[in-house]
Amino acid sequence: MRRVAVFGSTGSVGESTLDLLARRDDIEVVALTGGRNVRRLAEQARAHNAALAVTAFDECYQPLKDALEGTGIEVAAGSHAVVEAAHRPADWVMSAIVGAAGLAPGFAALSQGRTLALANKESLVTAGPLLLAEARSHGATILPVDSEHSAVFQALAGEDIAQVETVTLTASGGGLRDWPLEKLAHATPDEAGKHPNWDMGQRITIDSASMFNKAMEVIEAHEFFGLAPDQVKVLIHPQSLVHALVAFNDGAVMAHLGAPDMRHPIGYALNWPQRDALPIQRLDLAAAGRLDFAAPDLNRYPALALAWKVMETGGASGCVFNAAKEVALDHFIARNIGFLDMASVVEDTLATFAARADIAATPRTLDEVLAIDTMARDLAGEAAATRHRA
């Protein structure tokens, strides 16, 4: 039996993970964690006969306890309990919490030498070097689950990274891709929250429309694969059938294709280092007919350009970038600021942070990361306030 823990099990990636786990008979679920969706978490814990169910929020303890009454499933609450769950023995751990809240549990799992399937891209953007060092020093393995990074990882199997010239991540262009530029500033959270190809959580879907998601993924690729900033490229590809391309120094380009279904990269990480059959719709290129590509227009996607700024600066800038982006997104969802204001808030925050602290200094501990995160959130809140709509 393989002991599995799923962090963020009630989310989009979490549900897809459980869908795959339910199809197997060699899985023992040691822990599931969620947020405020206690009813769903309890349903999942019962269906998968989990040993432990954790809600990240203290006030959700009693409802979760009540919902699991008589099942014998252990119940816990609070962010410390989520981290504690990462110390439980497990063979495979899915990190699918959204936001910087996913960092500490993933870090804890690595400190125990686990195999960590990493969907939480915020971890690598916020604290890439620290996370990789933690994995190295405890013999832990990080497997990328973000679809583009899983695609790159697969294209690199058996290859030497030193022979790689460039890595290209594709982007659908998001829900507002075909909007006229002058309308973009007025896009609402509902309009930005619809994705043409992928079915994902609300936050990442809005990040896809702004391309903050792709900016995060560029930084994620730079950190995880150790690529120089100018080795990472982005192409708009509306069909989302090609997920990434790796170009080698002999002129060969290895592309990864498949249906846009997160169960592929999740399943790949679950079966790694082997492959096994997955319930994914098979690619039919004749039916697709064509594959389109275009260079992204940085006037339409100002957030994307910030990724190269962050990679060039290094140090604390990834953490500042992520924290500011999360705050800007909160303000956009609350309709305090406009769609294009999000990139301005993050850019302003990077500048004010650099004026007050050494942004090029790399945080050495998780506590340092969290202190930078807190400071950046305060600065981003101020930056957002100056752009609040009248």
Is 240:291 a contact under the CB 8 Å cutoff?
no
Question: At its nearest, how many Å lie between Mg ion and the CB of residue 137?
Answer: 28
Number of residues in contact with Mg ion, rule: CB under 5 A?
Answer: 3
78 conformational bin, left if phi > 0, alpha if psi -120 to 50, beta if neither: left
Dist CA 304 CA 302 (whole Å) = 5
Question: At its nearest, how many Å lie between ligand NAD and the CB of residue 81?
Answer: 10
Question: At its nearest, how many Å lie between ligand NAD and the CB of residue 210?
Answer: 13
Question: Counting contacts by CB under 6 A, is residue 198 touching ligand NAD?
Answer: yes
Q: For ligand NAD, which stretch binds (CB under 6 A), given 8-16, 175-183, 292-300, 313-321?
A: 8-16
What pairs with residue 32 in β-bridges? 6, 53
The CB-nearest residue to ligand NAD is 11
> With respect to Mg ion, which residue has the nearer C-beta, 81 or 131?
131
**Could you say which of ligand NAD, Mg ion, none residue 12 binds, taking C-beta under 5 to 8 angstroms by partner kind?**
ligand NAD
Q: Site map for ligand NAD, 83-102, x if CB under 6 A?
A: -------------xxx--xx
Question: Counting contacts by CB under 6 A, is residue 376 touching ligand NAD?
Answer: no
User: 3-class DSSP state for residue 247?
Assistant: strand
Question: Counting contacts by CB under 5 A, is residue 220 touching Mg ion?
Answer: no
Dist CA 201 CA 207 (whole Å) = 10
CB hemisphere CA count around 128 (13 angstroms): 26
> With respect to Mg ion, which residue has the nearer C-beta, 131 or 372?
131
Question: Counting contacts by CB under 6 A, is residue 11 touching ligand NAD?
Answer: yes
Question: Counting contacts by CB under 5 A, is residue 261 touching Mg ion?
Answer: no
Among 63, 189, 196, 201, binds ligand NAD (CB under 6 A): 201
Among 5, 8, 20, 319, binds ligand NAD (CB under 6 A): 8
Token pair recorded at residue 316: 């604390």
> With respect to ligand NAD, which residue has the nearer C-beta, 60 or 359?
60
Q: For ligand NAD, which stretch binds (CB under 6 A), given 170-178, 180-188, 198-206, 369-377?
A: 198-206
Question: At its nearest, how many Å lie between Mg ion and the CB of residue 71?
Answer: 35
Dist CA 219 CA 276 (whole Å) = 30
Question: Counting contacts by CB under 6 A, is residue 13 touching ligand NAD?
Answer: yes
The CB-nearest residue to Mg ion is 146
Angstrom distances, CA of residue 295 to CA of 121, 166, 176, 281: 23, 15, 16, 28
Among 15, 122, 134, 146, binds Mg ion (CB under 5 A): 146
**Could you say which of ligand NAD, Mg ion, none residue 8 binds, taking C-beta under 5 to 8 angstroms by partner kind?**
ligand NAD
Number of residues in contact with ligand NAD, rule: CB under 6 A?
Answer: 29
Interaction residues for ligand NAD, span 21-50 (CB under 6 A): 34-35, 37
Question: Counting contacts by CB under 6 A, is residue 122 touching ligand NAD?
Answer: yes
List the Cα angle 381/387/389 in 5-degree steps. 115
**Could you say which of ligand NAD, Mg ion, none residue 337 binds, taking C-beta under 5 to 8 angstroms by partner kind?**
none
Other Cβ atoms less than 10 A from the Cβ of 283: the count is 11
Long-range CB pairs of 220-223 (<8 Å, 24+ gap) are 220/121, 220/124, 220/125, 220/128, 220/144, 220/146, 220/149, 221/148, 221/149, 221/152, 221/167, 221/169, 222/128, 222/311, 223/124, 223/125, 223/128, 223/129, 223/132, 223/318
Angstrom distances, CA of residue 90 to CA of 85, 309, 315: 10, 38, 32
Question: Counting contacts by CB under 6 A, is residue 12 touching ligand NAD?
Answer: yes
In sequence order, the 6+-apart residues with CB closer than 8 A to the CB of 175 are 191, 192, 193, 194, 195, 196, 205, 208, 209
Question: At its nearest, how many Å lie between ligand NAD and the CB of residue 194?
Answer: 14
Is 345:353 a contact under the CB 8 Å cutoff?
no
N- to C-terminal Cα separation, the chain: 58
Token pair recorded at residue 65: 């306890």
- Nearest CA to 380 out of 340, 355, 344, 335 is that of 344
Enumerate binding residues for ligand NAD (CB under 6 A).
8-14, 34-35, 37, 56, 82, 96-98, 101-102, 119-122, 146-147, 198, 200-201, 203-204, 262
Q: Which residues contact Mg ion (rule: CB under 5 A)? A: 146-148
